[in-house]
Amino acid sequence: MAAQIIDLKERQQLPQADASSGFASSSGLKAETSQHQLKIPDALREALSSSDLAWSHSNESSNDFRSDSYTKPSLPMLEAIIATSLGDGDTDEDVVTRSLEEYIADLVGHEASLLVASGTMGNLVAHQAALKTPPYSILADARGHFHTFECGGASYLTGVSVRQAFPSNGHHLTLEDVKRQATMGESIYEVPTRIISLENTLNGTIMPLSDVRAISQWAHAQNPPIHLHLDGARVWEAVAAGAFTLREIGEYFDSIQLCFTKGVGAPLGSIVTGSSAYIKRARWSRKLLGGGMRATGLIAASARVAIDDVFFGGKMKAAQGKAKYASDLWEELGGKLAVPTETNIVWLDLPASGLKYEDFYPVAKNFDLKFRDLQPGRLVFHYQISDSALARLADFFRAVLL
């Protein structure tokens, strides 16, 4: 097979660099054509399909409920990588990367965007680009990913103080929560709030657009205006659930980070969106953090396929259906949920269900199910969870609850 790839490499055609190639508007979830009309020789496609490549199957991820980042890249993603451009991403010379950046910016209604290596880097770049002269602070939900699961990078690398707000309704932050916790004074004893960093979805729950709008209008009315950032690593899930469109939520944020690995299933990469001036600053931040990359078409091509195939293709919505089935079954069998299931993450309340750690996690292995106990009771569904794994999960639920 390797010989076939070498023999055929001169016949490969590069994808088109048109960022608007036949897609429906960002007001919905329909895409009319494939990503770039990628073309690779039929003989090469046949060789790839008939091989034992890890790309050609999702066996390892079919029973993996640890996270939606545990998906396996697909064969169409590999085909896109084979046919991609290989320009320098650090100097903005790669046509497929530029096409992806233009496309994502258009989806959320922003002027520009910037490809980064990961969601963690995306949040760091986004925050750093928005911060000017210290002292400054970021106001965020106390459960927010960027300050609980990203090694404290924001504080370590920018010197920013993170002020945590707790949602009074137990679900999502409201304007009153934000007003109560924001630091608006500028005396020598205070650390003014310069960024409000929201997350949607957060732990699988959706922050309503009405609350986003209220916070945005208040933040931008301040003097100086407060930068509003969205950690939208899983905002795809909220859109797939029908809560709003990407452009509708994009209207209220100065910057957004979207992840290409969580849910949509690309091998790597995230993107930061914002105004052209803001993205220019973000490019400096990316370079400072060691994120200047060369042949970024390898990342961009597979990310575009992931968006087309999984997000626009309805596979994300189907995974949410499996999550809802599992959570409904858990409750029917007498189990309790910590929070209602709104998207692709199910939160089982093990103590309230009469279960201890040893009653649950060790038993899962007997049903060939992969769970992670970092956040007890969390099960994450993605588009590669198989029907057979879902059936075994149902059997496991019955075994531990009945």
Instruction: Read off the pLDDT of residues 192-238 as tens digits, 9 standing for 90 and up.
Output: 999 999 999 999 999 999 999 999 999 999 999 999 999 999 999 99
The model's pTM? 0.89
Q: What is the identity of the amino acid at 103?
A: Y
Neighbours of 78 (CB within 10 A): 20
pLDDT, residue 343, reads: 98
pLDDT tens per residue across all 402 residues of the chain: 333 333 333 333 323 333 333 333 443 454 433 444 556 777 777 777 766 788 888 999 999 999 999 999 999 999 999 999 999 999 999 999 999 999 999 999 999 999 999 999 999 999 999 999 899 999 999 999 999 888 888 888 888 999 999 999 999 999 999 999 999 999 999 999 999 999 999 999 999 999 999 999 999 999 999 999 999 999 999 999 999 999 999 999 999 999 999 999 999 999 999 999 999 999 999 999 999 999 999 999 999 999 999 999 999 999 999 999 999 999 999 999 999 999 999 999 999 999 999 999 999 999 999 999 999 999 999 999 999 999 999 999 999 999
3-state helix, strand, coil in the chain (%, to 5): 45, 15, 45
Place of tokens 């991403």: 89
Q: What is the identity of the amino acid at 1?
A: M
Asked whether the beta carbons of 115 and 271 are under 8 A apart, the reply is yes
Asked whether the beta carbons of 271 and 113 are under 8 A apart, the reply is yes
DSSP secondary structure code for residue 112 in this structure: E
CA distance 273 to 102: 10
| CA nearest to 361, candidates 346, 352, 350 | 350
pLDDT, residue 381, reads: 98
| CA nearest to 32, candidates 287, 331, 313 | 313
pLDDT, residue 29, reads: 53
Asked whether the beta carbons of 326 and 381 are under 8 A apart, the reply is yes
CA distance 113 to 278: 9
What are 317-343's pLDDT values in tens digits?
Answer: 999 999 999 999 999 999 999 999 999
CA distance 95 to 83: 12
| CA nearest to 107, candidates 271, 300, 246 | 246
Quote the tokens at residue 318. Answer: 């189907």
CA distance 397 to 390: 11
Quote the tokens at residue 124. Answer: 């760091």
DSSP secondary structure code for residue 307 in this structure: I
Q: Is the bond preceding 343 in cis, omega lying within 30 degrees of 0?
A: no
Neighbours of 271 (CB within 10 A): 26
Q: Based on C-alpha coordinates, what's the Rg of the chain?
A: 22
State the virtual CA torsion across 329, 361, 323, 269 in degrees, nearest 10. Answer: 180
Asked whether the beta carbons of 105 and 271 are under 8 A apart, the reply is no
